[in-house]
Amino acid sequence: QPVLTQPPSASASLGASVTLTCTLSSGYNNYKVDWYQQRPGKGPRFVVRVGTGGIMGSKGDDISDRFSVLGSGLNRSLTIKNIQEEDESDYYCGADHGSGTNYVYVFGTGTKVTVL
Amino acid sequence: QVQLVESGGGLVKPGGSLRLSCAASGFTFSDYYMSWIRQAPGKGLEWVSYISSGGSGVYYADSVKGRFTISRDNAKNSLYLQLSSLRAEDTAVYYCAREFGDFFDYWGQGTLVTVSS
């Protein structure tokens, strides 16, 4: 099954941009990746799905236009533009590794985003 | 609006059992696959178990296989997770989540399970 690698932390000044990366392990370059936001003390919420061609489907409910994605090779990135205090959260990427006879969903270790 | 509300968490001794529930509302529960996902204190997310819309298809993470049982009651709009032979490493917040196209589009707020003597 794929391993999803995320840096443990990222930061940006209020109003600046930050890009979060999620790197798939070798051999999984055709996989879609899902991004989730988890604010402190809250349950996660779906942000967006990204493939090699970029965004797939619609963003989650009430997800700002400031969130965008890119997909290339083994990398699936999430960019937050004009970052706001409300964006300070943990961000997890995840991927479905199911087949007809099995189901596995794997998460990355998460990136903590701090707004300076 | 979609709502998922977990309950049933608490303190349990190693080797003990617990049953978690997830009450769903705001959507046609019987149309959706559902999953349980957990998060140990200060740690990341770990998918635990999945159940198909009708309940016939179930899958588990290797870490819980043989100890946890997922089920659902579509008439009651409810999802369940029976936890048995609990270990300290099962201590976590357990979330129920709705599946939509192989990702989780709605999550509950979670219920905390603490396994300690």
For the segment B74-86, what is each residue's pLDDT rounded down to a tens digit? 999 999 999 999 9
Mean pLDDT of B97-102: 91
- How many Å apart are CA B46 and CA B38, to the nearest integer? 5
pLDDT at A98: 78
- CB-CB contact of B78 with B72 (8 Å): yes
CA B43, chain centre distance (Å): 17
- How many Å apart are CA A26 and CA A96, to the nearest integer? 16
Q: For chain B, what is the mean pLDDT?
A: 96
With a CB cutoff of 8 Å and minimum separation 6, the contacts of B76 are none
Q: Which residues of A touch B44 (CB under 8 A)?
A: 92, 107-110
pLDDT at A97: 87
pLDDT at A101: 75
Q: How far apart are the first and last CA of chain B?
A: 40
What residues in chain B have their Cβ under 8 A from chain A's Cβ atoms?
A: 35, 44-47, 50, 57, 59, 61, 95, 101-110
Mean pLDDT of B99-103: 89
Chunked in runs of 10, what are the mean pLDDT values of chain A (116 residues)? 95 97 94 96 96 91 95 95 96 89 91 97
A89: helix, strand or coil: coil
pLDDT at A103: 85
pLDDT at B21: 98
Of A57, A102, A107, the CB nearest to B47: A107
Give the closest-approach CA distance of A85 to chain B in angstroms. 21
CA atoms within 13 A on the CB side of A19: 8
Of B45, B102, B108, the CB nearest to A92: B45
